[in-house]
Structure 1
Amino acid sequence: MMLGLELAYWQESILRSLGVLAAVLLPAGTFVYVFLFKMVSFMQNRLGPMEAGPYGSMQLLAEVGKALQKEDVVPDAADRTLFKMAPYIVVATVLLTYVVVPFGPDMVFIDNQFFGTGIFYVMAVSSISVIGIILAGWASASKYSLLGALRAAGQLIAYELPLVLSVIGVVIQAGTLDLQRIVVAQATGEIFGWGAIGNPFILTQFIGLLIFMIAMQAELAQTPFDMPVAESEVVGGYHVEYTGLRFLLFFIGEFATAGAFAAIAATLFLGGWWLPGLDLEANYMNVLGPIILLAKMMVFGGIIFFIRFTYPRLREDQLQRFAWKFLIPLALVNITATGILKVVF
């Protein structure tokens, strides 16, 4: 529609696929350069990569090129089919997640007229990555890979519950599962009758956001929840036997998933592609919206990686106890309070 052209279904499908790839790879690459290469370097009083491109800006492309040239090694005892399939399953879950994320009033890959349960879909699809992780650990025929996969599965299942429960408060307050309508609810909402800045749910669902961020850190297996891939514990985790392209896919999947969760958090709690004072239905928001959303994603990404390089690792029993005995009860309290306040006000 933006080009004024009538496109066939297969042409629209190609454009949507390319758009999803761009939505996945651009934030992932930005996160790697800004946070992994530069922010952590400054935190540790060093410069980080400086040789490949201006200020090391081409270092990521150099790393990708190096990974693609490496030999694709498959262990002799491995289940070759499952071993090769696992990294693609992990990356596919990220691609499927971005399908329902709105980037503007008309910038969404699936028409919400036919798909109005976006957040339910996101929570369901994000849990599929556990299958890829278990396949990688089991098919590698390595005790370290299997141990890392079992740890990852236990951790992801434990923290999937508070992640889902933290979102329910937003759904109750917005009255919809549709991510686009959640953005509109924040933009058109009021705070005690004052609607100058709308009603971003970070104000009323701060506890939900806190739970979401903690669970997101665990879902990404980032420090302090990195026991599944702890080098000093299990050498490298479920992907220790992978090389070349398939290891690169796991690496991309890690940072792309961080970008996807940051996009969901920005949409649920910070108004997504909208900012106060901007017209929700204006065409320019289809251009400005993705930039606004990316900026909000960078805020959440900065928090994720700051915590990763700041806090010490939790033991397996500590992180499980934290999920089941603290986060889940707190999330249930938040849901109850939100429901009561929704009825009263």
Structure 2
Amino acid sequence: MEAIVIEKIILITVILLLSLVIAMYMTLAERKFAGFLQDRLGPNRTGPFGILQPLADGVKLFTKEEIIPANANKMLFILGPSLAMFTACIGSAVIPWGHDLVIGGRTIPLQVADINVGVLYIFGVVSLGVYGVMIGGWASNNKYSLLGAIRAASQNISYEIAMGLSIIALLMVTGTLSMRGIAVGQAGNLYGWGPSGMAWNVFYQPLGFLIYLICMFAEANRTPFDLPECESELVAGYHTEHSSMKLGFYLFAEYINMFIASAVVATLYFGGYNFPGQDAIVGSVSPFLYTLIGVAALFLKISFFLFFFIWIRWTIPRFRYDQLMKLGWNILIPLSIANIVITGIVMFMAGKV
């Protein structure tokens, strides 16, 4: 029992540190890519090729003066960014990061908690995330912060509906709410042909994936859905009054949310840690190496979606707010309902129900 507890603590620590490091260097990657698109260099002074820039930014945020507005609710003002950071980090608990790891005869699952309602857990965490934004914006006693918080709340509620409906169609196909179960179900080959590890749900649910992808951008408050922090209208939106590491928590939470969202979409629709031809090498390499290859495959998929987040930000302008709400309520929700109906009809005709 003690060994299991120690293994879980180590796994949690590794995932947390990895999330923080990826969030740090995502800021550098985003600034470098923005510089490339705008025909400039981006950060290049701190360390070789600017590689130490995230560390310098972190030191700056830690050492800046702590300012709390005189009319702000102090407790809630601090609670907002703390809650945003907390909910961003706990989303990784149900993600399967790879096949079971075998070390010294012990089998260690690379998943903090394999619960049978993992998908519902993810949605619960996503729903809680908006409270950090809402509380921080309201407690600032600033009209721009409050407007940004209200926008965030209404945006998240609107797009959570379409996201949930798109997942219902996926669950009809997979038959499980477990994240590990969904990943394991994609270990075979597509329609009985092709290499193993290619039975990805995106081939069975292309419309559901597209709806989920759009909603994922909206839930992460990323361009073109970054209305809660729309600089041209709201200064900085919900974190206008926050400074020092409270501002850092909001910024870190956004990039950790991007990382976790990329891991979730890779697991739900792109096979997770499964990779093409995995059955062909399972007996020719050690179990330890086989697991590492699966972890590398998952992180390669995550890297693609992180790049996609950045690419979209610097190529597509943000929506007007009426366009954002119309897309969520008038287009995505009817499409997701139609996707459920189509999935049911196809499964019925195929004799799957």
- How would you bin the TM-score normalised by the shorter chain? over 0.9
Give the superposition deviation at 1:57.
1.0
Residue from 87, 95, 118 that aligns with 1:101:
95
Q: Is the 8 A contact 1:105 1:286 kept in 2?
A: yes
Deviation per CA, 1:76-128: give whole Å up to 9, x if none.
1111111111111111112211000111122433342xx11111110111110
Aligned twin of 2:12: 17
Segments of 5+ residues of structure 2 without an aligned counterpart are 101-108
Segments of 5+ residues of structure 1 without an aligned counterpart are 1-5
2:51 paired with 1:57: yes
Aligned twin of 1:176: 176
2:306 paired with 1:301: yes
Bigger mean CA deviation after superposition, 304-313 or 182-191: 182-191
Q: Is the 8 A contact 1:23 1:98 kept in 2?
A: no
What is the alpha-carbon distance in structure 2 between the residues aligned to residue 267 and residue 144 of structure 1? 37
What is the alpha-carbon distance in structure 2 between the residues aligned to residue 164 and residue 24 of structure 1? 25
Aligned twin of 1:31: 26
Give the superposition deviation at 1:12.
4.0
Residue from 65, 71, 76 that aligns with 2:65:
71
Q: Is the 8 A contact 1:188 1:195 kept in 2?
A: no
Give the superposition deviation at 1:9.
6.0
Aligned twin of 1:45: 39
What is the alpha-carbon distance in structure 2 between the residues aligned to residue 102 and residue 202 of structure 1? 18
Distance change in 2, residues 1:176/1:10 (3 Å): closer
Count the aligned residue pairs.
Answer: 336
Give the superposition deviation at 1:22.
2.4
Give the superposition deviation at 1:30.
3.7
What is the alpha-carbon distance in structure 2 between the residues aligned to residue 201 and residue 30 of structure 1? 30
What is the alpha-carbon distance in structure 2 between the residues aligned to residue 318 and residue 239 of structure 1? 24
What is the alpha-carbon distance in structure 1 between the residues aligned to residue 190 and residue 232 of structure 2? 50
Aligned twin of 2:296: 291
What is the alpha-carbon distance in structure 2 between the residues aligned to residue 14 and residue 187 of structure 1? 28
2:187 paired with 1:187: yes
What is the alpha-carbon distance in structure 2 between the residues aligned to residue 60 and residue 23 of structure 1? 14
Q: Is the 8 A contact 1:169 1:338 kept in 2?
A: yes
What is the alpha-carbon distance in structure 2 between the residues aligned to residue 204 and residue 313 of structure 1? 30
Aligned twin of 1:3: none
Q: Is the 8 A contact 2:183 2:272 kept in 1?
A: yes
Bigger mean CA deviation after superposition, 15-24 or 236-245: 15-24
1:224-243 matches, cutoff 5 A:
224-243=224-243
Aligned twin of 1:329: 334
What is the alpha-carbon distance in structure 2 between the residues aligned to residue 13 and residue 241 of structure 1? 38
Q: Is the 8 A contact 2:12 2:112 kept in 1?
A: no
Distance change in 2, residues 1:8/1:201 (3 Å): closer
What is the alpha-carbon distance in structure 1 between the residues aligned to residue 236 and residue 126 of structure 2? 22
Give the superposition deviation at 1:27.
2.9
2:206 paired with 1:206: yes
Runs of 4+ deviating beyond 4 Å: none
Aligned-pair RMSD on alpha carbons? 1.8
